[in-house]
Structure 1
C-alpha cells in the first residue's frame, strides 16, 4: 500500500499532473478489482474533481462534462458522481453539497476534510485518531458508528495570508 498523499498539497503548489495521474491509476485499479468499469464519463468526472483540488457541485461537474461532449442532462453527472462515491473514488462534502476526489482510492481510511471557507479548496487529511475518538464516544452511548463524514471549516494558508494582510 502506498503512503497517503500529503493533505497540504491541496493548499500548495505541487506537480499536479503527477498527483492526477497517480490517483487516476489507483482509481482504475480499484474499479477493476470491484468488477466495475471506469467508463469515459465516470473517468472524466473524476478527472474534473482531481483537476481543482476543491469540492465541486454536481452542476459544475455537469457543465464541464457537457463541454467535453458527455451530455448536459443532470443525470449524466449525478450517475457518474454516485458511482465514484459508491466505489470510494470520491467523497460527498456535505457542508458544501459538493464532491471531492478521494486522494486515497482503494485504501481503508478515515478522511477528515479541511475546507477553506474563502476559496473552497478541500484537503483530505487522515483522521484515524478523530475517528477513534468518535467511536469511543459512541461506544459509551451504546451506539455503533457505521459512517461518519468529518469536516473542518477554516482558511487555507493562501487565504489566511491574504485575509491577515
Structure 2
C-alpha cells in the first residue's frame, strides 16, 4: 500500500527522506541520536532493529519473544523501557488501535502523521502529508481545543489484499 502519489498532493506535501532498508533506518536513528545527545544503548538499538526489520506493525510481546531468543532472561519492563525511549524521541510510532509499533519513515524530525492500516495483512503505511495534521490542529484551535497528542489511524484493505 503506497501513500497517495497524486502530483497535486506531493507538490504541496512536505517531502521526507524514507529509509529503504532496516539498516539505513537504524543508521538514521543513530545519527539523529548523536545530533540530539541521546544515548542509543545496545538494547534500545536491538529493539529498534527488531521493529525496523519486522516489515509490519509488531507487538511488544512479539519483540520480547525475539529478544529472548538471544537473551533468555529478557523481561517485559526491559522491552517497554526501550520502546518508551524510541517513542518519546520520535524514532517509532505506536498504532493504538492494534497496540503495535512501527518504525518512523523520518526519524530526524518531529511530526504527527496518520496511518493507513490494512485489516487483512496488518500492514501500515504512514501518510506523509503534513497538511492532514495541520487541518486537525486548525479545526481544534477553531473550537478552542488545545491538542496534546494526535493519533489518526484509518482502517481498511490495502491494494495488495483487495
TM-score range, shorter chain: 0.7 to 0.9
Choose which of 87, 93, 105 in structure 1 pairs with 2:89: 87
Q: 2:58, 2:85 → 1: CA distance? A: 16
Q: 1:104, 1:51 → 2: CA distance? A: 16
Q: 1:106, 1:155 → 2: CA distance? A: 30
Q: 2:72, 2:43 → 1: CA distance? A: 6
TM-score of the pair, normalised by structure 1: 0.82
Give the structure 2 partner of residue 104 of structure 1: 106
Gap runs ≥5 in structure 1: 7-17, 161-165
Residues 95-134 of structure 1: per-residue CA shift (max 9 Å, x gap): 1111111111012333111111111111122131111111
Once superposed, which parts of structure 1, at least 4 consecutive aligned residues long, lie more than 4 Å away? none
Give the structure 1 partner of residue 160 of structure 2: 158
1:137 aligns with 2:147: no
Give the structure 2 partner of residue 11 of structure 1: none
Give the structure 2 partner of residue 4 of structure 1: 17
- CA-based RMSD: 1.8
Choose which of 49, 52, 55 in structure 2 pairs with 1:50: 52
Does the 8 Å contact 2:43/2:82 carry over to 1?
yes
- Looking at secondary structure, tell me which structure has more helix per residue: 1
Q: CA deviation at 1:33?
A: 2.0
Q: 1:89, 1:20 → 2: CA distance? A: 12
Number of equivalences: 148
SS in 2 for 1:152: strand
Choose which of 32, 38, 41 in structure 2 pairs with 1:39: 41
Q: CA deviation at 1:56?
A: 1.1
Gap runs ≥5 in structure 2: 1-14
Give the structure 2 partner of residue 116 of structure 1: 118
Q: 1:112, 1:134 → 2: CA distance? A: 11
